[in-house]
Amino acid sequence: MIELKDVTKKYENFKAVDNLSLHVNNGELLVILGPSGCGKSTTLRLMNKMTERTSGSIKIKDKDIDSFKEEDLRKGIGYVIQSIGLFPHMNVWKNIATVPQLLGWEKERIDKRVHELLLLVGLEPDKHQKKKPSQLSGGEAQRVGVARALASDPDIILMDEPFGAVDPINRLRLQKEFRQIQRRLQKTVVFVTHDIDEAILLGDRICIMNHGKVVSVDTPENVVLNSSDEFVDSFFKGEGILTILSRKDVEDYKEDIPSDGIELSKSATLKEALAHMLLTGEDRVSVEGGSISFNRILQVVGRDINEKD
């Protein structure tokens, strides 16, 4: 779907992106993770020509990006920029409606779309759609930015730290919602973050960058549990395993063994089950239709460790 080959971006003699090759599969959510200044935003901007590469080639849907008209390229790719980038003179409605209007949608269809997107990102349409960006909080503005990128229902979405300014509760809700939408709609998403938990929770694969280069691209499980790279390991500091547990639903691992006590909800994750065991000192917790034990959780992680062999 998106293919970067030997791509370099130089600013004078400094290589912000250094001979980088990367393939993003159709329908996958690829997270780019790495320290500040390693070239994440630049890599993203090269994909929709907000920044011109110095050398190398980039293809989208098997076509060289130079063969698209720039405006067609941008209309076809949703983009959430790191600094939010709402148009300051337009209200929230107009900001979200920009691309649908360019595409010639009817007013009624745009109204409906703006309304559903505002609800999706947790903003009340009546309260917010007439506001200018200067009348929004940072987190609200960021959510409008996400709604704007989704507005015309593009196949490809580039997101640069889209939830960076959102408070932790709304952030987790947005992350979960976004993951579900993505699974359902199978968009091709490139998602930049420095938040390790966010990367593990959302990514089908994680691309770790350092100094303008790709260090590793793999599934969250493999990156966290099976990496032999020192830089990658130093990034996760052994804590990624807890987030791996938060990607897995108890429902998929429960055993057919009845158990007393508090029952976890059907949508609970293995991380919640483990937290419950640590709080209560019990080594088994009941779930609708069965239960899950501490050993079972160890096994699940162990199976991931062994998957490589």
Ligand X SMILES: Nc1ncnc2c1ncn2[C@@H]1O[C@H](COP(=O)(O)OP(=O)(O)OP(=O)(O)O)[C@@H](O)[C@H]1O
Do the beta carbons of residue 205 and residue 28 sit within 8 Å?
yes
- Chain residues binding Mg ion by CB under 5 A are 41, 82
Q: Should residue 38 be labelled a site residue for ligand X when binding is judged by CB under 6 A? A: yes
190 binds, among Mg ion, ligand X, none (CB under 5 to 8 A by kind): none
Q: Should residue 40 be labelled a site residue for ligand X when binding is judged by CB under 6 A? A: yes
Site string for ligand X, 116-155 (x = CB under 6 A): ----------------------------------------
Burial class (CB in 10 A: 0-12, 13-18, 19+), 1: middle
Q: Min. distance of Cβ 6 from ligand X in angstroms?
A: 18
CB atoms within 10 A of CB 139: 18
- 41-76 per-residue burial string, b: 16 or more CB within 10 A, e: under 16: bbbbbbbbbbbebeebebbbeeeebeebeeeebbbb
CA-to-CA distance for 177 and 27, rounded, in angstroms?
16
DSSP 256: S
- For Mg ion, which is the closer residue by CB, 37 or 289? 37
Q: Min. distance of Cβ 41 from ligand X in angstroms?
A: 3
Exposure on the CB side of residue 90, measured as CA atoms within 13 A: 14
Query: Distance between alpha carbon 198 and the CA centroid of its chain, in Å?
Result: 7
Q: Should residue 37 be labelled a site residue for ligand X when binding is judged by CB under 6 A? A: yes
Q: Min. distance of Cβ 215 from ligand X in angstroms?
A: 13
Q: Which stretch binds ligand X (CB under 6 A): 37-45, 130-138, 219-227, 258-266?
A: 37-45
CA-to-CA distance for 185 and 55, rounded, in angstroms?
33
Q: Min. distance of Cβ 174 from ligand X in angstroms?
A: 19
Q: Min. distance of Cβ 49 from ligand X in angstroms?
A: 15
CA-to-CA distance for 114 and 223, rounded, in angstroms?
38
**Residue from 41, 175, 188, 243 in contact with ligand X (CB under 6 A):** 41
Q: The tokens of 44 are what? A: 């993203």
Q: Min. distance of Cβ 32 from ligand X in angstroms?
A: 8
Length of the chain: 309
- For ligand X, which is the closer residue by CB, 40 or 271? 40
Q: Should residue 11 be labelled a site residue for ligand X when binding is judged by CB under 6 A? A: yes
36 binds, among ligand X, Mg ion, none (CB under 5 to 8 A by kind): ligand X
Main-chain phi, psi angles of 57, to 5 degrees: -130, 150
CA-to-CA distance for 183 and 181, rounded, in angstroms?
5
Distances (CA, A) of 95 to 45, 85, 133: 20, 10, 9
Q: Should residue 39 be labelled a site residue for ligand X when binding is judged by CB under 6 A? A: yes
Q: Min. distance of Cβ 186 from Mg ion in angstroms?
A: 26
- For ligand X, which is the closer residue by CB, 149 or 274? 149
Q: Should residue 53 be labelled a site residue for ligand X when binding is judged by CB under 6 A? A: no
91 binds, among Mg ion, ligand X, none (CB under 5 to 8 A by kind): none
- For Mg ion, which is the closer residue by CB, 60 or 81? 81
Residues near ligand X, by CB under 6 A: 11, 16, 34, 36-42, 82, 194
